[in-house]
Each structure stands twice: as C-alpha cells, then as structure tokens.
Structure 1
Amino acid sequence: MSAPQDPGLQPERTELSWRRTLLALAVGALVSVRVLPPVLGGWTVATGLLGVLAAAVLWLLARRRHASVAAVFRGSVAATAMPGGGLLLALTVFTAVGALLGLGYAVLLRAG
C-alpha cells in the first residue's frame, strides 16, 4: 500500500467542510430570524439566534479538532484516537431537535 498523495491535507479539507456546514447552519438560522416571525410568531427570533450561537460553538469545536488532527498528521502527537466524534454527534442532535420542534409546531399549528 502506498503513502497518501497529500499527507496532511486531509485535515485541512475536513476543516473546510466543517466550516461550510456550519456556515450553512448559521445562514439558515439567520434566514429563519428574518422570514419566520410573521408566520410562526416572535419566539422564532430566539430560536434563530440560538442556531447562530450553536453554529459559533460548533465552529470553535471544529477548529480545536482540526488543531488536534493536524498535530497527529505532523507527528508531534502520538495517534491514540482521532478526535471529532463528539462534534458530529452534537451537530446531529442539534439538527434533530430543531427538526422535531419544527415538526411538532407545524402539527400543533395545523391541529389548532
């Protein structure tokens, strides 16, 4: 098996993909702040701002993960376990909770 073509670039590509994902989350939250209050009420502003805050926190965690993985690729830290599973779990839980809350509100809005 040959060595990778671009040693050390994989963490950079992963960090860039996390950045795009969290930018999309922040933009979606900001759009919801702008568009949804007339339809769903004023509480959507707080929810949208919570989404922006969550994107910022996840971005900081992604930067920390990138630094850890880059250190492993540079060889300055022994590779015991690759970090980052918690970051993916946090993003998944945040997205699932938001989707379930939105679905529940839509069902209640339609029923009432």
Structure 2
Amino acid sequence: MTLFDPGLQPERTELAWRRTALALGAGSLIALRLLPVAFGHPAWAFGGVAGLALAATLWLAARRRYRAVNSVLVRDGDRGVLPGASIIAVLAALVLAIGLVSLAVVILTALHSG
C-alpha cells in the first residue's frame, strides 16, 4: 500500500523553485544595470553575471529534481528514498553570502559618504 498522492504537489514545488530562479535573475539584471553606474567600477557587473548564471543553474536543477522526485514517488510511493536536498543547502549558503556582501557594501558606502 502506498500513501503517495499523485496530485500536483511536486509540480507546485518545482514552480516555486522557478519563481525563485526568476526573482534571482531579475535581481541580477537590476544589479547588472545599476551597480556599475552607482559605484563606477565595471567589476560590479560580475555580480550580475554570476547571479544570472546562478539563476539558470537553479532553474535547471529544480527541473531535474522535480523529475527525480516524481519518478521515485510514482515508482515507490512514499516509501521511496528521495534525492538529497543539496540544492536547498547551496541556495541558503548563497543567499547568506549575497546578504553579507550587500551589508558590507551598504556599510562601506555609508562610511565613505559620511
């Protein structure tokens, strides 16, 4: 007997990851446009390009994870072993790093302007 409900939960999860990737991509495009203008150094564009690459990687990883999870659930039900959650850990670490860098930029900008 399997308790797996073949509803749309795995698909909703994938769509949530897609929204996260789209938000990251949009933020990266904004950073790509505004950071070099605001700080006057083209190296700031690297953050925007890296963010776009991360968004594309996240999009593809979410799709691959959806397929893997769905195939395990269809084949083995809720008794199957799902793939690891490394994508979640990587995203959390990257969000923490981006937050710390952003905080450092704000503090350094405030110190230099004041």
Bin of the TM-score, shorter chain as denominator length = 0.7 to 0.9
C-alpha separation between the residues in 1 aligned to 2:60 and 2:84?
A: 12
Please give the residue correspondences for 1:10-49 in structure 2 after superposition, counting only pairs within 5 Å: 10-41=9-40, 42-49=42-49
Equivalent in the alignment of 1:102: 102
With the length of structure 1 as denominator, give the TM-score of the two structures. Answer: 0.84
SS in 1 for 2:53: helix
Larger helix fraction of residues: 2
In the TM superposition, what whole-angstrom CA distance separates every residue of 1:69-93 from its partner, at most 9, and x where no partner exists?
A: 110221168712x225211111111
Segments of structure 1 that go 5 or more residues without pairing to the other structure are none
C-alpha separation between the residues in 1 aligned to 2:85 and 2:110?
A: 37
C-alpha separation between the residues in 1 aligned to 2:19 and 2:84?
A: 16
CA contact (8 A) 1:33 1:45 kept: yes
Please give the residue correspondences for 1:20-99 in structure 2 after superposition, counting only pairs within 5 Å: 20-41=19-40, 42-75=42-75, 79-80=80-81, 82-99=82-99
Larger deviation, residues 16-25 vs 32-41: 32-41
Segments of structure 2 that go 5 or more residues without pairing to the other structure are none
CA contact (8 A) 1:37 1:43 kept: yes
- Kindly report the root-mean-square deviation, in angstroms, between the aligned alpha carbons of the 2 structures: 2.0
1:7 aligned partner, one-letter code: P
Q: Percent identity?
A: 40
With the length of structure 2 as denominator, give the TM-score of the two structures. Answer: 0.82
**How many residues in Structure 1 have an aligned counterpart in Structure 2?**
108
C-alpha separation between the residues in 2 aligned to 1:68 and 1:98?
A: 29
1:79 aligned partner, one-letter code: G
CA contact (8 A) 1:8 1:70 kept: no
